[in-house]
A and B are shown apart, each in its own frame.
Chain A
Amino acid sequence: MVRMDYWLYLMLLPGLLYFLVFKYIPMWGVLLAFKDYQPFSGFWGSPWVGFKHFERFFTDPSFWILFRNTFIIAFYNLVFFFPLPIIVALMLNEIKNETFKRLAQTFIYVPHFFSWVVISGITYIMLTTEGGIVNQVIEFFGGEKINFLLSENWFRTIITSQAIWKETGWGTIIFLAALAGVDPSLYEAARMDGANRFKQLLHITLPAIRSTIVILLILRLGNFLHLGFEQIYLMLNGMNRDVGEIFDTYIYTNGIQRGLFSYTTAVGLFNSLVGLVLIVISNKLAKKFGEEGVY
């Protein structure tokens, strides 16, 4: 029936072309990491230099700072942010008052739809030492003003809190869907057997959303190093760069702004490869634990 399907291939063409040009050509473009890119000679004319940029990167002290910062912020996200949507979804699931539930959900979903510029903007307006409400409240209670925005000590806390504030509500959706699929008769049977609410949670609710949790955990582990350029970039400044600079922001400032194309392509390739390895490993792990995995 291939003859009948020529329309299908014709319709497929723009999309296929899109993926080849805008996704696969840049993948080919990572070869720049092994060249010295010169704008006038272009991609093909620039000379090959082997692993020069990688050697430079791995021996540069900033490599370890970037690695540490990326790793710590990712770890904070995993430990403090990841469990919250599950907890909030479990609590929402226990709420029987529909009006209250819907109102709470309407509120907690809101920040997801705003950009990181808005979220950072609100953070700046609230935390500034010049009339920000948080510092005014601290002063009202007799405390000293804290310069949150220029502080190295507060940077990671602020980043993680922002992520929690913006995405916790949104993250509950998938767990609520999984919870809605639980057969209510299971709870009834458990109650007949004398299970209290904690035991019901442990033996019915949690097993029911186990595979959702595992899949999302894999996805998160796979994207461990992808912290999102926008959030970090918008919160970075001269005072917190030592704790806040991550691979993505480093690539932007040194590649786009300073024109070190080949060197930052090498940094980006390293970042992407580590990400790929993490996805493959976590998927294998999931399969070992008897889950289906992502692919």
Chain B
Amino acid sequence: MIREYSAASRLFTAFIYIAVGLFALVTIIPFIHLIAASLTTAEELREKSFILFPRVISWDSYAYILSTNTVLRSMGVTVLITVTGTFVNIAMTTLMAYPLAHKTLLGRDRIMLLVLFTMIFSGGMIPSFILVKQLGMLNTYSSVIIPGAINAFNLIVIKNFFQQLPDGLEESAKMDGASHPYILARIVIPLSLPAIATFSLFYAVGHWNAFLAPILYLNDPDKWPVQVLMRQIVILSQGGVGDATDMGPDFVLPPEQTLKSAVIVFANLPILLVYPFLQKHFAKGVLLGSVKG
């Protein structure tokens, strides 16, 4: 490499570092503020306008949230939906991707067309709602899991990934008398673990963050996942965190801003915790395959 030392070039480099640095800071500061606001005390909130690092850390708002049933129950619902939903997603997607990865499969092109068409046209919200209702799934957890069981884009990417595996593997397994389910379970899936892990995470984040399907299909507040509850508490300032059961008599409710921030941070701890793992994989996952193929 020839290095450039011209003044203009160095100025350009400096500009890029500052611009990217600023953009990164602007992106992350709201989150830091959120965490700081959730840990701050009432006095500090009154004094200062802009809190990034609270002087005195107070866990009161978290203690309060943990002492109520509302947030924990909806977190439980979300965990249940996320775990079962992701399992259904991956099972359905790989099961369909495997046969489609066989170029010799009769009718394969037609099925692919059928799948692709769903990516550009859909019946829309109301016909889907009526279908779910008539299937008797309204207000059951299956309504937020089954109608989204396969994501067409993910299916195509996983299918492309399966196609890239060497044909010889399957042939030699067949020679040994292996059936397709055996080949899928014992050869193809183990070899595709990085891809499957990536898409499991994508599907899981999708379930954790889902808002539209729950508000469409789940009307019983006891069945609300945490996103719907968060909207009530943070955006509508309704419903409240509510029903504290075991706080002492001298307990003072933390300020509203602090409480709201704490609810958001708490409800998203799982995502914050898997983020480093996610980050390692997603770039690869996104680029595993293109829409074509």
Contacts and interface: CB of A to CB of B under 8 A. Distances in A.
Contacts of A97: 17
B19 interface: yes
B121 to A, nearest CB: 5
Given A19-B118, A91-B16, A103-B24, A122 B34 contact: yes
B33 A115 contact: no
B184 A104 contact: no
Interface stretch (B53-61, B206-214, B245-253): B206-214
A5 B103 CA distance: 12
Given A107-B28, A110-B275, A118-B264, A26 B131 contact: yes
Interface in B1-37: 1-2, 4, 8-9, 12-13, 16-17, 19-21, 23-28, 30-31, 33-34, 37
B95 A26 contact: no
B194 interface: no
Interface in B25-51: 25-28, 30-31, 33-34, 37, 45, 49-51
Contact of B128 (A26, A222, A264): A26
B234 A124 contact: yes
B24 A104 contact: yes
B209 A114 contact: yes
A272 interface: yes
Given A16-B111, A120-B235, A140-B49, A115 B123 contact: no
B27 A8 contact: no
A118 B261 CA distance: 10
A14 interface: yes
A95 B17 contact: yes
A9 B92 contact: no
Nearest to A178: B287
Interface string A243-256: 00000100110011
Contacts of A130: 256-257
Contacts of B31: 110-111, 122
A268 B125 contact: yes
Contacts of A169: 27
B96 A255 contact: no
Most buried by A among B20, B26, B264, B292: B20
Contacts of A103: 24
A248 B17 CA distance: 40
Contact of A269 (B23, B124, B271): B124
Considering residues B25, B123, B231, which has the most beta carbons from chain A within 10 angstroms of its beta carbon?
B123
Interface stretch (B65-73, B79-87, B142-150, B161-169): B142-150
B27 A165 contact: yes
B130 interface: yes
Contact of A23 (B118, B129, B179, B205): B118
A222 B120 contact: yes
B114 A19 contact: yes
A111 B29 CA distance: 11
B261 A29 contact: no
A43 interface: yes
Given A11-B184, A110-B27, A121-B230, A256 B16 contact: no
Interface residues of A, number: 95
Given A5-B105, A32-B127, A255-B129, A88 B23 contact: yes
B172 interface: no
B64 interface: no
B235 A9 contact: no
B189 interface: no
Interface of B: 1-2, 4, 8-9, 12-13, 16-17, 19-21, 23-28, 30-31, 33-34, 37, 45, 49-51, 92-93, 95-96, 98-100, 102, 104-106, 111, 114-116, 118, 120-131, 134, 146-147, 149-150, 155, 179-181, 184, 205, 208-212, 216, 227-228, 230-231, 234-235, 255-257, 260-261, 264, 267-268, 271, 275, 278-279, 282-283, 286-287, 291-292
Give me the 8 closest cross-chain CB pairs, A-B, nearest first.
A26-B123, A15-B96, A29-B127, A268-B124, A115-B209, A136-B49, A7-B180, A26-B127
Interface of A: 1-2, 5, 7-9, 11-12, 14-16, 18-19, 21-30, 32, 37, 42-43, 88, 91-92, 94-95, 97, 100, 103-104, 106-111, 113-118, 120-122, 124-126, 128, 130-131, 133, 136-137, 139-140, 165, 168-169, 173-174, 176-177, 188, 191, 196-197, 222, 229-230, 234, 248, 251-252, 255-256, 261, 264-265, 268-269, 271-272, 275-276, 279, 292, 294-295
6 contacts: A27-B123, A110-B28, A118-B267, A137-B49, A177-B283, A256-B216
